[in-house]
Amino acid sequence: MAEEIEKEKVKVKIPSLVTVKKFAELLGLGVTDVIKELMKNKILATINDEIDYDTAAVIASDLGFETEVDLEATGSGAMTLEQLDEILKKEKESGKNLRHRPPVVTILGHVDHGKTTLLDTIRKTSVVEKEAGGITQHISAYQVKKKGEIITFVDTPGHEAFSAMRERGVSLADIAILVVAADDGVRPQTEEVINYLKDKKIPMVVAINKIDKPNANVQRVKQELADREIVIEEWGGNVVAAEISAKQNIGIDELLDMVLLVAEVEDLRADWKRLPLGVVIESRLDPQKGNIATVLVRTGTMKEGQDVIAGTVVGRVRRLEDFKGRQMKEAGPSTPVTVIGLNQSPNVNDVLQGMIDLKSAKAMQKDFETDGSSAKKFDSQSILKSMEDQNINRLNIILKTDVQGSLEAIDQILGTIKSEEVGINYVKQGVGDITESDVKLGQNSGAVVFGFNSQPTTVAKRLAEMNNVEIKTYKVIYELVEDIKKRLEGMLGEDIVRTDLGKLKVLAVFKTGKGDMIVGGKVASGKMVNEENLEVLREEKSLGRGKLSNLQQNKVNVDEVKQGLECGITFLGDAKIKEGDILVCFHEEIVKKSL
């Protein structure tokens, strides 16, 4: 009997996220039994709902199983960044097959504090000169070597409009370089970044830039940082700081040394032997190479010829290229790599997973198409919203950009435009040149075709001219956004703005004509102004409105009469005025509505 009690529990491997159906299969039990056990633990889950590893471990233990996390399995749905983070966390805890990996670094700070110049100096290329409008337009990643150690940089745009993209860069980074200009100090966007880094617990290295400027004040910057609980080492804190000039190439070596120092403390490691997991940080359609995705490998090793799935897009890695475009046979953790061979362009932020074979990748893709995740939810709120949306006048647009990151940035900025009367309807969004099919779609839907760093093909241009389809192309995001804003404002129409000027109490009626009257009274407040509008009030109720066509004081024509004075008025209008009525003098102007 005692032997039966001590019977060893069966060991099962559970992914970090698993559907109830898959979980039941792994335990070799009926789905109903598992759902009942979940209900006992006050968890109401259906057969297709996903539960996390911790929940699954508790349920499995109650059912007599011992569990361990299955780091190879990745669940059944398209993996999210959160799920990837969870896997990386479990992987680190497991300690299996772990080897040192390079740090992933991002550079953040206030606009114009020199982030792009610093990136340029570090990688010794001329990205700054190539930029239009002074904003880093795309996300990219590259590597530099220092003391034989590799450092990976994820290049994120710095302008405030790109906060979501910037945060994406941070979520991928192990270390952040916070750039603060010595001549400008901590600014609102710097504070925003500091709060974000604190919240995400991301280690930082402070780069005090522009120390070559005559008005640079390094001590003030250190004080302002200390006021925000960023205390640098020389002041007794635990944050390392380098004083640099990105333009003059001063202090860059020391800055990279500090990055390596922080990386050493962080002890960054990953499992090089497993199937790869990475994040798509850029995606575009190349006329020669087809669909291309820039991926930052987070764990595992990606190899040429491997089958992969990125979000819901499947493919086989036909070619791998490093950040300089050179062919690679494989790419390990923390390596930015260009993947050629996907059947479509994946979305930025999609998680790329290495698969055992193309068959299982395609089966997984089929799951996405049939799992009903795209089915609409018809609850009272969504019905109400849909009714509200029908009352909105929408501008139809087709948006084509050079890369996926630009598409996301424009989408994010346009999403901040709030109006109850007008809105944007995307007829199509895509990456690549503006083609004849875009023009045909524009013709059928009455849409304007917008291109950002994307030009129409010769055929598309000719077709657009023949069919009067408007194509607008831009190289600076804000010019494109301003154009769309102006168009939306044009659709808003006009407002009539009324300004009350004064009130008069009617003391006598001198003449009642057909459509006009002459009355006398005293200005109770404000002033009466000739040629302005009048509203007739009796016991605070409006009887109608008319025009003040003649204003007299002591039988002399005047332009205005102020409070406390008496005057005579010629009223043009149909309302019949009596003694004791109040005449409100007011001005009206037509104003174009704005967003």
Please state, in angstroms and rounded to a whole number, the distance separating the CA atoms of residues 558 and 551. Answer: 6
**Closest C-alpha among 76, 77, 57 to residue 68:** 57
Please state, in angstroms and rounded to a whole number, the distance separating the CA atoms of residues 557 and 545. Answer: 22
Task: Give the number of C-alpha atoms closer than 13 A to the C-alpha of residue 178, restricted to the C-beta side.
Answer: 26
Parallel, antiparallel, or unpaired: how do β-strands 175-181 and 204-209 relate? parallel
Please state, in angstroms and rounded to a whole number, the distance separating the CA atoms of residues 398 and 393. Answer: 17
**AA identity, residue 493:** G
Residue 577 burial by CB count (10 A; 0-12/13-18/19+): exposed, middle or buried? buried
Angle value at C-alpha 397, between 416 and 292, nearest 5 degrees? 85
**AA identity, residue 405:** G
For each of the domains in the chain, give its residue range(s) and CATH number, in order of start.
Answer: 9-70 (no CATH), 102-267 (3.40.50.300), 271-370 (2.40.30.10), 388-492 (3.40.50.10050), 495-592 (2.40.30.10)
Please state, in angstroms and rounded to a whole number, the distance separating the CA atoms of residues 127 and 331. Answer: 25
Per-residue pLDDT in tens (0 to 9) along the chain, 595 residues: 444 444 467 888 887 677 888 899 899 999 888 988 888 877 777 887 777 777 888 899 889 898 887 755 554 456 777 778 778 888 888 777 799 999 999 888 877 777 778 887 887 643 333 334 433 344 467 888 888 889 998 876 544 434 554 555 556 789 999 999 888 888 888 888 888 888 888 899 999 999 999 888 989 999 999 998 889 988 988 899 999 888 888 888 899 999 999 999 999 999 998 889 998 888 888 778 888 898 999 999 999 999 888 887 888 899 999 888 889 999 999 999 999 998 888 887 788 988 766 655 555 555 554 444 433 333 333 334 444 455 578 899 999 998 887 888 888 888 888 887 888 888 888 888 898 888 988 988 889 999 999 999 888 888 899 889 999 999 988 899 999 999 998 888 788 899 999 999 999 999 998 889 999 999 999 999 999 999 999 998 999 999 999 999 998 999 999 999 999 999 999 999 999 999 999 999 988 877 7
Residue 335 burial by CB count (10 A; 0-12/13-18/19+): exposed, middle or buried? buried
**List of residues 6+ apart from 147 with CB closer than 8 A:** 257, 260
Task: Report the pLDDT value the prediction gives residue 236, as an integer from 0 to 100.
Answer: 85
Total-model pTM: 0.59
